[in-house]
A and B are shown apart, each in its own frame.
Chain A
């Protein structure tokens, strides 16, 4: 069993895992709260609504480890752990609203969230769920909400600055792993942004309490109705946050490209044909835009990571799949040229994108020419990287004569020599066997179906 290195912060539960399951060891100090969680009906409510993953209690056999536990909760490994700095705006917003929603429900059952970490929400496809059962504690009458500050740093501040200033600002969480300090968030805004009760209270006024000396024992009362009011007010403030839509490079790519309609259909049927030959459970669609071709995978029951650099395209993919409650399409906004690094204590607390990503099939449609020409990444390096993370590869080669490639080559004429179909095949066939190669009707583009050597 392997220790989950991100769970060291919580004294009440420690996480370990093997190939199939996570094991959450509950501390003896937390047992009273856990028993209330079970007996109050909160556990059943959450399970019935899929707000938490099903788990079973197992007996800890190996008590010789450094952590003794009476209760060990066993739950199935999830297909992919994603982090808030990889979520689109709507994904982040849904995670924030979900945290508030489960806290309001917990209050009805006499419990409350003792922490409101953004890392406690994960996605199964496009649907959120809560992973840390040990975050619920018995509600104490008139106690202020301990996690209010954390919620604002982890959720409200990143969402607010994203909506009001720049959509990329939640990426600051890569630096501020414990949430964006409210003063920093305030400094990024203009005064006009606080002419609103929500932002004024939860961000501006709240930031004034940051780093203030508080004498022991001076803790004001907040009764349950007031606490519910705060949570509901946070809900309505977050619901109102919407970013201004800017036109981005890839935003409307799926509607606006050099494909004929019949070429699009042909491309989809070729992919379907390739997938019929193999059995796979997980896929990574690189440069997927709004996930048009990812649907083919999801329809076959394959859990698909839909990855693109474009914030708006990924946001659209998320909204669309969240609406239909898809548990197979998992959109993520990632720049493949500079993917998420490993961060946190000892650089192991939160893993890098590639460290988390082992899939059965990678799909890279109309991406390689961008990597090779615009970003100067050698074809051999691309092939090598893909081969480390997948068994099968479905990849589109765009001919140098294609109108889109011609535009790229105009800016990088030195690639005219090395970007060729022959070089592509030589480099990729160092790592993969060719299973099939087909031309897309009416296009100067080929689809290759590779299997790792």
Chain B
């Protein structure tokens, strides 16, 4: 009989959750950097436009 029948299928998920959480934290970190950079350029471009106006 397969040993899988005696395993709570959710227990592996608890272990993987930490890995998934880590990857998502990285994704969020890089997204924030991307947002920061795009905001930075948006402000500079806007200032430049205002000066020209």
Interface of A toward B, CB cutoff 8 Å: 144-146, 148-150, 152, 181, 197, 201-202, 205-206, 208-214, 218-222, 225-227, 229-230, 233
Contact = CB atoms under 8 A, between A and B. Distances in A.
A210 B20 contact: no
Contacts of B17: 144-145, 148, 220, 222, 230
A233 B24 contact: yes
Contact of B9 (A145, A149, A222, A229): A149
Given A149-B10, A229-B28, A233-B27, A209 B15 contact: yes
B27 A226 contact: no
Interface in B5-51: 7, 9-25, 27-28
Given A212-B7, A213-B3, A148 B13 contact: yes
Nearest to A220: B18
A210 B4 CA distance: 10
Contacts of B9: 149, 181, 210-211
Interface centre among B14, B15, B21, B27 (most CB of A within 10 A): B21
Nearest to B14: A144
A197 B27 contact: yes
A144 B18 contact: yes
A211 B14 CA distance: 12
A229 B21 CA distance: 7
A321 B41 CA distance: 42
A226 B15 contact: no
B16 A209 contact: yes
A218 to B, nearest CB: 7
Nearest to A229: B24
Nearest to A231: B24
B24 A226 contact: yes
A206 B16 CA distance: 7
Given A144-B17, A222-B17, A212 B11 contact: yes
A214 B14 contact: yes
Nearest to B20: A201
Contacts of A197: 23, 27
Nearest to A222: B21
Interface residues on B, range: 20 to 34
Nearest to B16: A209
B8 to A, nearest CB: 8
3 nearest A-B residue pairs (beta carbon): A220-B18, A209-B12, A212-B12
Contacts of A208: 12, 16
A373 B4 CA distance: 50
B11 to A, nearest CB: 4
Contacts of B27: 197, 233
Nearest to A210: B9
Contacts of B3: 213
A218 B10 contact: no
A201 B19 CA distance: 9
A295 B15 CA distance: 50
B23 to A, nearest CB: 6
Interface centre among B4, B16, B19, B28 (most CB of A within 10 A): B16
Given A149-B14, A202-B20, A210-B12, 5 more contacts: A206-B13, A214-B11, A220-B17, A222-B21, A230-B20
Contacts of B20: 201-202, 205-206, 230
Contacts of B16: 205-206, 208-209
B15 A219 contact: yes
Contacts of B4: 211
B25 to A, nearest CB: 6
29 contacts: A144-B14, A148-B14, A149-B10, A181-B9, A197-B27, A201-B24, A206-B16, A209-B15, A209-B16, A210-B9, A210-B12, A210-B13, A211-B12, A212-B12, A213-B7, A214-B11, A214-B12, A214-B15, A219-B15, A220-B17, A221-B18, A222-B18, A222-B21, A226-B21, A229-B25, A229-B28, A230-B20, A230-B24, A233-B24
B6 to A, nearest CB: 9
A208 B20 CA distance: 12
A33 B3 CA distance: 35
B10 A227 contact: no
